[in-house]
Amino acid sequence: MKIVVIGDGKVGFTLTRALSQEGHDLVVIDNQKNALTIAEDRLDVLVMEGNGASASVQKEAGVDTSDLLIAVTSADETNLVCCMVARKLGCKHTIARIRNPEYNEAQYLLRDELGLSMTVNPERIAAREIFGLLQLPSFLRRDAYAKGRAEIVGIPVRTGGKLDGIALVELYKTLKVRVLVCAVKRGSKVIIPDGSFVLKGEDHIYVTAPTGDLLTLVKVMGLDRVKIRSVMIVGGSRIAYYLAQMLSEAGIQVKLLESNMARCETLSAMLPDAMVVNADGTFFPTLLAEGLEETDAMVTLTNLDEMNLVISMYANHLHVPKVVTKINRTEYGEILDDSGAECVISPRQLVCNDILRYVRAMQNRSGAGVVALHRMVDDQVEAMEFRANSESWYCGVPLHDISLKPNVLVAVISHHGNVIVPRGADSFAEGDSVVIVTTTERRFDDLNDIFAEPPQGTKGV
């Protein structure tokens, strides 16, 4: 596909890198030469210096013949104008990053007039992710599939715990609940396991289960069942606003620490049910004075990754039950592993994943394309949901009779709303949702792409 990306900041570069790795024909527009130089040197893309909202610049970049334009500059208004111009030039699909909450209603009312195919809000997406993690604090990660009926959750294997030393083939006997371990992170290594794989303490496992079974899973695994009643947030960012709003509406006490007085006054007016404190949340004595040791959860949302890491390490040292760390620079992977920061979210990566899902859906060849896509385990593993249709191979064939490509695992089958964690004798049918897990370097746009070979007698293959 031919794609034009306007804005080469943090989100733009992350997105451009991901799209480039998937083989798309990319042009990147930005008015900052230094940013473009980095993209040109590191990625296989064309770059153009200029104002992306200009019709002449867009024409020169070939927007009129492009499949998609993505506007992710730092200014919402610029992104909206970029999309409007692109649609006037003939580009059929446009995506804009819209961050200001005041634009939420307008963008939906004027979606067609603004020429928008999709909008993304990194801060709101990140807040929803954190809120989901705080609802079930035993999990390191939660991703929903099959219209919310199934989830893939990240769980730590504790040394000496119930799962330490257990082979996956024995998992049901141990847990008495039907789950599937679809990925394992052991140190820096990521594994798509089979039944003979033996779990070890300090592993991070990614488990598929029906949403209704998650509480049972927490109970039988003996995981901490702390109910989050109070949350301390450090940093008064947009993510903090969205998160505090969600938590307050759920009846959870929120204390938000922000060092800028003007921002405190703004947040206090916008969040009447939260306690907004004008204080330096990066100063440890302040955290103690504000009750860090008594809070149920700490969320670090400053603009500095390094500061978020340090604060989270301190909260872990004080045994705060749940600590969530916002990180944008995913290259800090090894530091994160060593720091003990288990629960980490990256807004730019979450946005990137949403847009990748949309792009793959655009490439849908037979109607069995990607419905949902989530990247996990430091972006080394993908979980993709497909919808089986009349052109999907092997409908009704037991999984143990199907040959899949290497490092591919069928994790969930949803049949008429009934979620199945599949075994070898299970099969999928037309209309079912099928979730597969694979390593990121594997590229699947259609359900049929996961099979090692087509059924005998298939025509046109």
Burial class (CB in 10 A: 0-12, 13-18, 19+), 262: exposed
Query: What pLDDT score was predicted for residue 359?
Result: 86
If one counts the domains in the chain, the total is 4
- Residue range 111-135, pLDDT digits in tens: 677 778 888 998 999 999 999 989 8
Query: What pLDDT score was predicted for residue 63?
Result: 95
- Residue range 173-183, pLDDT digits in tens: 888 888 889 99
Strands 204-210 and 150-156: antiparallel
- pLDDT averaged over every residue in the chain: 88
Query: What pLDDT score was predicted for residue 445?
Result: 80
Kindly state whether residues 7 and 97 are assigned to the same domain.
Answer: yes
Phi-psi region of 368 (alpha: psi -120 to 50; beta: other; left: phi over 0): alpha
The domain that holds 168 is classified in CATH as 3.30.70.1450
Kindly state whether residues 7 and 108 are assigned to the same domain.
Answer: yes
Kindly state whether residues 46 and 79 are assigned to the same domain.
Answer: yes
Query: What pLDDT score was predicted for residue 443?
Result: 77
Query: What pLDDT score was predicted for residue 127?
Result: 95
Over residues 225-236, mean pLDDT: 91
- Residue range 34-88, pLDDT digits in tens: 889 888 888 889 999 999 999 999 999 999 999 999 999 999 999 999 999 999 9
Is residue 332 assigned to a domain?
A: no
Q: How confident is the model at residue 342 (pLDDT cuts 50, 70, 90)?
A: confident
Query: What pLDDT score was predicted for residue 459?
Result: 57
Q: How confident is the model at residue 138 (pLDDT cuts 50, 70, 90)?
A: confident
CA–CA dist 231, 127 (Å, integer): 13
Run of H or E residues at 323:
strand 322-326
Query: What pLDDT score was predicted for residue 458?
Result: 67
Query: What pLDDT score was predicted for residue 337?
Result: 59
Q: How confident is the model at residue 341 (pLDDT cuts 50, 70, 90)?
A: low
Check: CB of residue 47 under 8 Å from CB of residue 31: no
Residue 219 clears pLDDT 90, i.e. is over it? no
Kindly state whether residues 299 and 379 are assigned to the same domain.
Answer: no
Range of the domain at 272: 234-320
Is residue 200 assigned to a domain?
A: yes
Q: Of 65, 92, 120, which residue constitutes the final position of a domain?
A: 120
| CA dist list (Å): 396 to 46, 293, 365, 429 | 46, 55, 22, 6
Kindly state whether residues 102 and 131 are assigned to the same domain.
Answer: no
Is residue 383 assigned to a domain?
A: yes
Kindly state whether residues 77 and 7 are assigned to the same domain.
Answer: yes
Instruction: Decide which of 360 and 263 is more confident.
Output: 263
Over residues 312-328, mean pLDDT: 92
Q: Of 120, 139, 165, which residue constitutes the final position of a domain?
A: 120
The domain that holds 239 is classified in CATH as 3.40.50.720
Kindly state whether residues 202 and 244 are assigned to the same domain.
Answer: no
Residue 378 clears pLDDT 60, i.e. is over it? yes
Is residue 104 assigned to a domain?
A: yes
Query: What pLDDT score was predicted for residue 176?
Result: 81
Q: Of 169, 194, 221, which residue constitutes the final position of a domain?
A: 221
Over residues 143-157, mean pLDDT: 85
CA–CA–CA angle 270, 276, 279 (5° rounding): 140
Residue 103 clears pLDDT 80, i.e. is over it? no
Kindly state whether residues 131 and 217 are assigned to the same domain.
Answer: yes
Kindly state whether residues 256 and 190 are assigned to the same domain.
Answer: no
Question: According to the per-residue pLDDT averaged within each range, which of 23-27, 262-266, 409-413 is highest?
Answer: 262-266
Q: Percent of the chain having pLDDT more than 90?
A: 51
CA–CA dist 51, 78 (Å, integer): 9
Q: How confident is the model at residue 365 (pLDDT cuts 50, 70, 90)?
A: low
Is residue 342 assigned to a domain?
A: no
Is residue 30 assigned to a domain?
A: yes
Is residue 133 assigned to a domain?
A: yes
Kindly state whether residues 112 and 152 are assigned to the same domain.
Answer: no
Kindly state whether residues 395 and 415 are assigned to the same domain.
Answer: yes
Kindly state whether residues 238 and 204 are assigned to the same domain.
Answer: no
Residue type, 202: E
CA–CA–CA angle 199, 204, 206 (5° rounding): 95
Is residue 192 assigned to a domain?
A: yes
CA–CA dist 237, 330 (Å, integer): 20
Over residues 348-368, mean pLDDT: 77
Q: Which of 267-276, 378-387, 430-439 has the lowest mean pLDDT?
A: 378-387
Please enumerate in sequence order all residues whose Cβ is within 8 A of that of 61, keeping only pairs 6 or more positions apart, or say none: 4, 27, 29, 48
